[in-house]
Structures are given as structure tokens and as C-alpha cells.
Amino acid sequence: MKALRQIVVSLGVLVVIALIGGGRVEAVFPEKPVEFTVPFAAGGGSDIMARTIAAIMEQEKILPQPLVVVNRPGASGVLGYMHVGQKTGDPYVLTTATSSFVIQPLLGKMKLSYRDYTLIGGLALDEFVLVVPASSPHRKFADLVEAARRSPKEVKIGGSSAPSIDSIITHLVEKATGIQLNFIAFKSGGEVMTNLLGNHIDLASANPGEALTQIQAKKARVLAAASDKRLKTLPDVPTLRELGIDVVVNQWRGVAAPKGISKEAEAVFVSAFKRLSDSKSWKEKYLTENNLTPFYLSPEEFRRYLDTDAEKTSQILRGMNLIK
């Protein structure tokens, strides 16, 4: 006798009910752990977000199975993104997504673009701060600008991968001030901070969540924020605009799955991440503590946002002579 299958999606859980003869068997999606890929090394902003999401999902029982964080760094995020993008139809793998998700396809370094994935949703906007070691002689950002003006390419600034949102910030600061910095790429924000504290670089572009622990321990100092307004956790730190440098940059953060997953699985993930975004734990343990701005976007809103972001980013990359 053929089974009669009924599909129910409720509260972020997909239940497939199979009626076989007089029996009833329920299978809840996901039925096994879901791999949550981070396309960068441990310790950076993407890693912090993924591990926070996994912990909250498990604590609040948003999904019946855990998200298992797996770091797949390399090629400015391309290896991790492609790992997920090539698993067409597989609902048991997700990836964090940031600006590199748009940048790398524009550069021609990634065969797939955000249009080739199932977008689950946007979650937050992350700011950037410009940080120096505590021992740095530069007490103000103007001091560092002057040092770079005296010795072009001598001041070393570190960031995650290249080209990346960090190298874009470097380019915009150089363009606004007329200086030349020496950008050095690392595999993750955590590696950037390690090299900053070891005095291997003079300056770092970092998300607040990557740097706050070192700032609070007085091992690093923030000279400026690339935000529109002063950050609540760093109220004494001026924005670049306040310093006469017209540069404002933030980074969106979201989640995507492979193309071709079932509509039912997609609905489960969309519902689950909306519940996460609405939760008190997410707002307090992640957004507030790491100085991020709430920015939930549905899949449709997320796609429209990325369309606009891709156009703006392509204009900047042309200005950097990286694309035609």
C-alpha cells in the first residue's frame, strides 16, 4: 500500500507525516545536524556570528537538530561559499554570508553569485573600527595619517583577505586623505588582531566584536570608527566623518543555503532565523555585546538589498582598478 504523506511547517519545524496502513510515522526536519559553514578562519566576525547562532538555536530549541559550525577558510571566502554552492538541493548545509559573498563573484574569482543560492535572510549590520596596538605612538588618527603622508606605503594596515571589505575601507581612506597605506591580508579577523597585538602591523580594520576584548584589556586602542554615528560601546571614539574624512562603511551579515533545496526545508530555515532574530538572546548576547545593528531581511528583501549592494560595490571596485 502506498504511503499517504502530509507536510506541515509550523514554528520553524517541518514535520512529514507518513500514514502507512493504520500506522503513523513522523519525520521532523532537520532529521540530522546541519553543517553551518564559515568561509573564514576561527576568531573573526563570521565565526563569532555562526557560533552565537548555533548556541542560541540549541538553547532555545529553535531547530530540532544542532547547527554544527565548520570553518572552511581560503581564497577570501571562495572555498567555503563554493563548498555550499556546489551542494545543489542539499538542505543540510548552510553558510554565513558577508560582503565577500558579493565581492568575489564581481572580481571573477567565484563561479557562483548570490543569485545561485537560496537566500535565507539578512540578520545584522556590522560596523568597523580602526585599531592600533596599545604601544602605538599614534594617539590620534591624524597622527597616523601624517605618518603615512611622510612615508607612503610604510604604515601597515591589516584586514581579512584581499580584495575585501577591509581593503575597500583602506582604499576609501586613502582616497579621502591622499595617503598610501600598505594593506596586508590575513585569513580572518582573529588573525588580524593577533598580528596587531604582536606589532606586526600598525593598524587594523576590524569589526567591534573582533576587537572589543583586546580594547577592554587595554591591549589595543581605537582611533576612529567608520560608522555613521559614534558606537554605543565606544562613545569616546570619533567617527571618520567627525575627523573630516568622509568614509562610512558597514558590513551586512546573513545566511544562505544551496540552490534547489525544497520549499519546505527553505520555509523551516526562514522561520527559524526569523525566530532567532526576534529572540531576546540574539539581541542581547550578539547584537548589543558586539555593537551590531539589527537588520533582519526576508529572502526577498535580502535579494533586493544585495542587488543594490552589488551595484555600489562594482563602482568601488572599478575605482580600485580591479574590474572594468
- Least-confidence region, from 22-26, 49-53, 296-300, 301-305: 22-26
pLDDT confidence band for 28 (50 / 70 / 90): confident
CB 71 within 8 A of CB 43: no
Which residues sit opposite 159 in a β-bridge? 185
Q: How much is the average pLDDT of 224-250? A: 95
pLDDT for position 27 = 60
Higher pLDDT, 308 or 76: 308
Tell me what pLDDT residue 23 has. Answer: 47
pTM: 0.85
198/19 Cα distance (integer angstroms): 63
User: What is the average pLDDT value for the chain, to the nearest integer?
Assistant: 91
What's the average model confidence in pLDDT over 266-291?
95
Cβ atoms of residues 268 and 13 within 8 Å:
yes
Q: What is the pLDDT of residues 173-229, one digit of tens each?
A: 999 999 999 999 998 888 999 999 999 999 999 999 889 889 999 999 999 999 999
For the segment 95-107, the average pLDDT, to the nearest whole number, is 96
When pLDDT is cut at 50, 70 and 90, the band that residue 44 belongs to is confident
**Nearest alpha carbon to residue 91 among 37, 39, 29, 47:** 29
For residue 182, the tally of other CB atoms under 10 A from its CB is 17
pLDDT in tens, 148-170: 999 999 999 999 877 889 999 99
pLDDT given for residue 14 in this prediction: 55
Distances (CA, A) of 175 to 63, 92, 199, 271, 320: 46, 44, 25, 43, 10
> What is the separation, in whole angstroms, between the first and last Cα of the chain?
62
Strands 156-160 and 117-126: unpaired
CB 100 within 8 A of CB 39: yes
% of residues, the chain, pLDDT over 90: 81
Contact 52, 198 (CB under 8 A): no
Mind spelling out the 3-state secondary structure of the chain? CCCEEEEEEECCEEEEEEEECCEEEEEEECCCCEEEEECCCCCCHHHHHHHHHHHHHHHCCCCCCCEEEEECCCHHHHHHHHHHHCCCCCCCEEEEECCHHHHHHHCCCCCCCHHHEEEEEEEEEECCEEEEECCCCCCCHHHHHHHHHHCCCCCEEEEECCCCHHHHHHHHHHHHHCCCCEEEEECCHHHHHHHHHCCCCCEEEECHHHHHHHHHCCCEEEEEECCCCCCCCCCCCCECCCCCCCCCCCEEEEEEEECCCCHHHHHHHHHHHHHHHHCHHHHHHHHHCCCCEEEEECHHHHHHHHHHHHHHHHHHHHHCCCCC
Contacts of residue 57, defined as CB under 8 A and 6 or more positions apart, other chains included, come to: 63, 66, 67, 272, 276
